[in-house]
Structure formats: C-alpha cells, structure tokens
Structure 1
Amino acid sequence: MENFTLQPEHLPDCHALLADCVANLPDDCYSLPARLAWAGIWDEDSRVNWEARLAGAWSVGIRDGGHLLAFAWLTQAGELDMLYVAPWAQRRGLAWQMIHDLEHAAAAAGVTALHAWASHAARPLLERAGYVLLRPNCALRDGVPLENWLMAKGGWQEPAVARSEA
C-alpha cells in the first residue's frame, strides 16, 4: 500500500470512491434519495469546488496496485472535510491511519482545534478518535435533508453566530 498527497488529478477517482461508499450505506442510515443527493455527480462545478477545498487542506490518499482504497482531507481551518474508505477495503485501519496522519500534519502547523460534520456511519469512528458530539445537524443537498452530527476535538467550539442560525 502507498500513501500519497492528493492532487487535483486524483479528484475524479476520489469522487467515484465517495459515490461507492455512499451507495453502500444501509437504508436505515440514509434513504436512497439522500444517498443520491449526497454523492451528487462529477461535473465542472464539482471539480472547481473540490479543487478549491483541497487547495486549503492537508490530504492523504491510500492506494494499492494503482487502486484508490481511501482518501481524506483536513482543512487548514481544522475541519475534517472528507474521509472515505472503499467498502471492500474497510476494517483495515485505513481511516484511523488517515486521521492520525492528518491530525499530525495539522498539529505540526499549530492547528489542534478540530471539527467534523460526521455522517451516521462516521460518527462511531470519530468518537473512538476522540471527537465529541456537539449537536445533531440537518444539511440540505439539492433540497434533500441529510442528517449528520457536528463533532469536535482539541477544544474547537462552534462560533456563536453559527449556533444561533442552526
């Protein structure tokens, strides 16, 4: 297995892996319309958005034999923005490894207050990684509600303005 820093040319494969992960979530976590809205489509708008997000983040990808197994990124503002492991590569410690690598890179740059908007599937992993639940959340994607959880680590606190709008 090989760890590497994500580059813009890797993003279409990252999106395909995300879509595979989301498609394989159980119906009792997210409905089919929710999973379709979450995965979205890879188009020019997606590419531009993802490239901008990646540019302000520490990132890691893991591949084996040229196949992308997992990817994650943590923004320089301390948000764990992406964390996906291919369904067939789960339960190998890849998510833990990526969280550790990204948190180490962030800490080296002085960023220790972290947060994430965790899905139902990611919440238990992040709790085991030391993140605490701040509140439930409901995001809208293409008009479809997606339940998730705001979680934090290292003393991160939600800005008062965000709390009052939630």
Structure 2
Amino acid sequence: MTIDVCIREYHPDDFDALCEIFLSAIKEIASHDYSPEQIAAWAQIDEIAWHRKLLQSEGLVAVCQQRIVGFITARQDYIDLLFVSPIAQRQGVATRLLHHLEQRHPDTAFRVEASITARPFFIGQGYQIVKEQQVEARGAVFTNFVMRKAAM
C-alpha cells in the first residue's frame, strides 16, 4: 500500500518535525533490531550539530496531508539520513524519497551506512553490501552495513 505524498526541499522550519520522526522511528521501529542500551544511545539529538548537518546537506521531506512523514539527507554521494514516521511505515514513503534523490543525480553512485533495520529496504532498492562494520556512538557499539548502488 502506498500513500499520496509530495516531496519537497527541506526548510529550516521543518527541523522539529524531522527530529520527532528520527526519534520515533528509532524508538518504535529500530528497537526491534537493537538493544535498549543501543536505542538509548542512538535516540539523541545534538541540535546544534543537526542544524549544521541539515544546512550542509541536500534535504528532502515527504509531506502527506500537510504533515511531514519522512525525510532524506545526502552530501555528495553519501546518504546520511533516511527516516519515515512509524505511522507511515511500509507505505512507499522511503522509496519515493530515495527515488526522488536518485533521479535528481542520475550520474551518482550513492552510498549509505544502513542500519540492520534499513538493510532490507536498501537491498530491495538495488544497493549492494560492501561490508558489515561495527561503529561506536555514545558508548554503544552498533552493527551497520556500508552499501552502494551503481549510478542510474
């Protein structure tokens, strides 16, 4: 099932909505694949760093019925963030965001460090696992996957 979404550029006044989506997606969705300690370490936002990161990235948001339901950010060929609200999961929002980004940059071979939770999505979108890795954040160690997709 898919929902009707509009994809538009990120605006700084979207910041609070993106933070809310990020935190709820981690706490409600990624918590199936990571321990409570890992979720506690991951589900934190340094607002100053996030504001800077979002301003330095290409950001797109998915809007459904005037509500932001997902977002993606990228810098050059690196997809940094892709999160969808739990209320819009499995309804094509992430696919629409990713395809919109890829279509804007058809000559770019995008790469991502996908979580355990996101790995099946990216595989389904044609991304290949380059390597599995362990990364540390706020004292917790996470497994994620460096993935890449050839340019369109």
Question: What range describes the TM-score normalised by the shorter chain of this pair?
Answer: 0.7 to 0.9
1:84 aligns with 2:83: yes
Conserved 8 A contact 1:53-1:75? no
Are positions 1:33 and 2:37 aligned together?
yes
Please state whether the residue corresponding to 1:146 is helix, strand or coil: strand
Q: Give the residue type in structure 2 aligned to 1:50.
A: W
Query: Who is 2:124 aligned against?
Result: 128
- Unaligned runs of 5+ residues in structure 1 are 156-166
- SS of the equivalent of 2:48 reads helix
Paired position in structure 2 for 1:73 = 73
* Secondary structure of residue in 1 paired with 2:105: helix
CA distance in 1, matches of 2:25, 2:101: 20
Q: Deviations over 1:2-33 (max 9, x none)?
A: 32211222122111111100101365510011
1:20–1:86: 8 Å Cα contact kept in structure 2?
A: yes
CA 8–26 in structure 1, closer or farther in 2 if over 3 Å, else same: closer
In the other structure, the counterpart of 1:104 is: 103
State the distance in 1 between where 2:13 and 2:88 align: 22
Superposed CA offset, 1:86-106 (max 9, x none) = 111111111110000011122
Structure 2: state its 5+ residue gaps.
none
Conserved 8 A contact 1:132-1:152: yes
SS of the residue corresponding to residue 82 of structure 1 reads strand
Q: TM-score, normalised by structure 1?
A: 0.80
Change (3 A) 1:101 1:33: same
Q: Deviations over 1:50-99 (max 9, x none)?
A: 233223332211122332211111212x1111111111111111111000
Secondary structure at 1:126 match in 2: helix
Structure of larger gyration radius: 1
**Structure 1 runs, 4 residues or longer, greater than 4 Å off:** none
Say whether the 8 Å CA contact 1:59–1:102 is kept in structure 2. Answer: no
Residue 59 (str. 1) matches residue 59 (str. 2): yes
Does residue 1:3 correspond to 2:7, yes or no?
yes
Bigger relative CO (Cα 8 Å, ≥ 6 apart) = 2
For the structure 1 residues 48 and 72, does the alpha-carbon distance in structure 2 shift closer, same or farther, using more than 3 Å as the test?
A: same
Identity %: 24
SS in 2 for 1:49: helix
Other structure's SS at 1:51 match: helix
RMSD: 1.7
**What TM-score do you get using the length of structure 2 for normalisation?**
0.87
